[in-house]
């Protein structure tokens, strides 16, 4: 099922948008602030996030920009009353995939969200970095403190996928969907075994954390 997070401080509008998306069979979560968005993104990885630009604790553009620089690729739509060309350009420069100006038609919002979900996230950067860890996708290499790590193909795939979603809980089923072929049993403990070996090779400080009852998450930008 498609999962969408709506971050909007106007409660009536947030409820209207979530209700409209839910009518289309979408699993919708809501938040009224950037702190609330952080909590929702830590507990799960949505397929798309709809952000109001101006929230009680800051401008969502800066928030999205920081996450993009850390490797976050989830599609983002800015929903805002800020309609100047400069505002729209700034939104895209900070990592928005789409921009819808208030007031808007619900049907258009639903169509735009559906389009973003079908397109998937922004292209993953060729090289992902966190503190002294560097993962080079095209070369299939990972280095920590400049030292090349001898990772297996599965260990590398799991690390790259987790690292592309910093701070977010990623389920074992999602890791299997992205890192294994379709013959793998998603209920098996194969992911746990790979993560144990991966942690041993990565060393300290730990960057792959267990999220009890959910799966694993890669360290957030704040944990650099």
Here the CATH number for the domain that contains residue 162 is: 1.10.10.10
C-beta of residue 155 within 8 angstroms of C-beta of residue 201: yes
For 26, residues 6+ apart whose C-beta sits below 8 A from its C-beta are: 1, 2, 3, 4, 113
Pick the range with the lowest mean pLDDT from 115-119, 167-171, 195-199.
115-119
46 in the same domain as 136: no
Instruction: Give the whole-angstrom CA distance, residue 46 versus residue 33.
Output: 17
| 132 and 113 part of one domain | no
Question: Residue for token digits 């890669």?
Answer: 218
Range of the domain at 180: 127-223
- Considering the domain architecture, whether residues 16 and 44 belong to the same structural domain is answered as yes
> Looking at the structure, do residues 111 and 147 belong to the same domain, yes or no?
no
- Predicted confidence (pLDDT) at residue 181 exceeds the cutoff of 90: no
One domain for residues 69 and 96:
yes
Check whether 184 has a pLDDT greater than 70: no
Among the three residues 65, 96, 119, which one is the final residue of a domain in this structure? 119
Strand partners, 58: 55
- Rounded-to-integer distance, Cα 20 and Cα 109, Å: 9
Domain boundary among 97, 119, 141: 119
Query: Looking at 88, 119, 150, which one is the last position of a domain?
Result: 119
The whole-number pLDDT of residue 43 equals: 74
Shared domain for 113 and 156, answered yes or no, is no
Number of domains forming the structure of the chain: 2
Identify the band that residue 84 occupies on the pLDDT scale cut at 50, 70 and 90. confident
Q: Which of 33-47, 121-135, 196-210 has the lowest average pLDDT? A: 121-135
Q: Are 69 and 146 contained in the same domain?
A: no
Q: Which helix (H) or strand (E) holds 108?
A: helix 106-119
Q: How confident is the model at residue 124 (pLDDT cuts 50, 70, 90)?
A: low
Which of 12, 95, 87 has its CA nearest to residue 49?
A: 95
114 in the same domain as 18: yes
How much is the pTM? 0.58
pLDDT of res. 188: 61
- In angstroms, the CA 54 to CA 9 distance is 9
**CATH at 15:** 3.40.50.2300
- Secondary structure (3-state) at 188: coil
Residues 113 and 191 grouped into a single domain? no
Span of 86-100, 115-129, 133-147, 148-162 with lowest mean pLDDT? 115-129
One domain, residues 217 and 148: yes
Residues 136, 191, single domain; the answer is yes
7 and 100 inside one domain:
yes
The pLDDT > 90 percentage for the chain reads 45
Residue 125's pLDDT is: 66
């Amino acid at each position: 099922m498609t999962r969408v997070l709506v971050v909007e401080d106007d409660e009536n509008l947030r409820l209207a948008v979530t209700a409209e998306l839910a009518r289309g069979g979408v699993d919708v979560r809501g938040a009224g602030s950037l702190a609330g968005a952080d909590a929702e993104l830590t507990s799960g990885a949505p397929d798309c996030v709809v952000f109001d630009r101006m929230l009680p604790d800051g401008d969502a553009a800066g928030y999205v920009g920081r996450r993009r620089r850390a490797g976050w690729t989830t599609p983002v739509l800015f929903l805002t009353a800020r309609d100047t060309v400069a505002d729209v350009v700034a939104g895209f420069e900070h990592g928005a995939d789409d921009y819808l100006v208030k007031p808007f038609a619900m049907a258009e919002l639903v169509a735009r969200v559906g389009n973003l979900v079908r397109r998937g996230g922004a292209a993953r950067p060729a090289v992902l970095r966190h503190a002294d860890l560097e993962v080079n996708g095209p070369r299939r290499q990972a280095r920590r403190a400049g030292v090349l790590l001898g990772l297996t193909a599965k260990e590398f795939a799991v690390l790259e996928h987790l690292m592309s979603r910093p701070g977010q809980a990623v389920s074992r089923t999602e890791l299997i969907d992205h890192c294994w072929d379709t013959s793998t049993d998603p209920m098996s403990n194969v992911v746990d075994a790979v993560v144990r070996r991966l942690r041993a090779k990565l060393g300290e400080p730990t960057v792959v954390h267990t999220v009890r009852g959910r799966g694993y998450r890669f360290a957030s930008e704040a944990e650099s």
